[in-house]
Amino acid sequence: MLSYERFKQAVRSDLKKYMPAEYADHRLVEKKIYKINRCVDTFRLQPPGPASDTRPMPTLNYQDLYRSIVCGARLENVLRSAAEAMQCSLPPEVEEKCLQMQDDRPDVRTLHLALINRNRNRQLLKNVPHHDFLDLAAIAVLEEGPQSGYLCVVTNDILKELDMDPETLLKTACENTFREYPSVLEESQLGLNAWCEGSTFGAVCLLDKEMLKEAAETLDSDLYVLPDSLHLLFIVAVKSVPRGIILETFRRASLLEPDAFDYLSDNVYYYDRKKEKLTILKDRDPLPA
């Protein structure tokens, strides 16, 4: 089977053979885009002339196309499909939004918080203002609401456009998040489920100290907090399950989907309700009396 790198080379050298002559002077531009929990290898065709004077063209990613090769598609058919997709005009509303985003300063009202795994997103975080929290990082995203999802992660370049420092950025994102997306606690078979209602990144409620205090009062116990995903937390009373069982069960569950795009952490967190403190639960650490 054709390797991924050789497939990319075939796209570079042969894509325009499947396109009309008017695209002959277009340049293939590649870019690695670091998204939450993954890196995407993208490419597009850039018409001659200043980028600001040209209409936005579709951006494709190599991974999606290569998946067809893995499933048995012929290279020629994949290249032909990519060429057809590249010639498709963007819908008017999308094109207008792309052009608008080139000119407009981001709206601070759309700033919200997200929690992501720090180790899995090392490359992304090199260019993203963030605050370390346990094994996670709090970042700002531009998020227009539950129907739209999040638009993008706030990078250092976007930070300059906003004319903010990192501390103000994250403070604003935090205030917007907990004002618009309140933390929710819901009873479950094991204890409680927790999330921020309406947010794409519901597990950011882990930063809500009042939510943790309420959960501890509800369960009348210190807490095990298990990150199910970027979207949801499971909360279990410490008095109801032995530590060894909770750690082993959660680790086994985490191994089932180690590369999930919505992965948050394979650590269990411990909330001490007397100290009102959250820590990473370790195998041998003594629990508070």
| Start-to-end C-alpha separation, the chain | 59
pLDDT at 54: 57
Measured between alpha carbons, how far is 245 from 268 in angstroms, rounded to an integer?
Answer: 12
pLDDT at 213: 97
8 A C-beta contact, residue 207 and residue 146 = no
pLDDT at 144: 63
Q: Nearest-CA neighbor of 230 among 198, 261, 190?
A: 261
Burial classification of residue 123, based on how many CB atoms lie within 10 Å of its CB (0-12 exposed, 13-18 middle, 19 or more buried) = exposed
pTM of the model: 0.77
Q: Nearest-CA neighbor of 275 among 197, 192, 209?
A: 209
pLDDT in single tens digits along all 289 residues of the chain: 789 999 999 999 999 999 999 999 999 999 888 888 888 899 999 988 776 555 667 889 999 899 999 999 999 999 999 999 988 755 555 545 544 544 456 788 889 999 999 999 999 999 999 999 999 999 999 876 554 555 689 999 989 988 999 999 999 999 999 999 999 999 998 899 999 998 889 999 999 999 999 999 999 999 999 999 999 999 999 999 888 888 888 877 766 665 678 899 989 999 999 999 999 998 655 555 4
Domain limits, the chain: 4-103, 108-180, 183-280
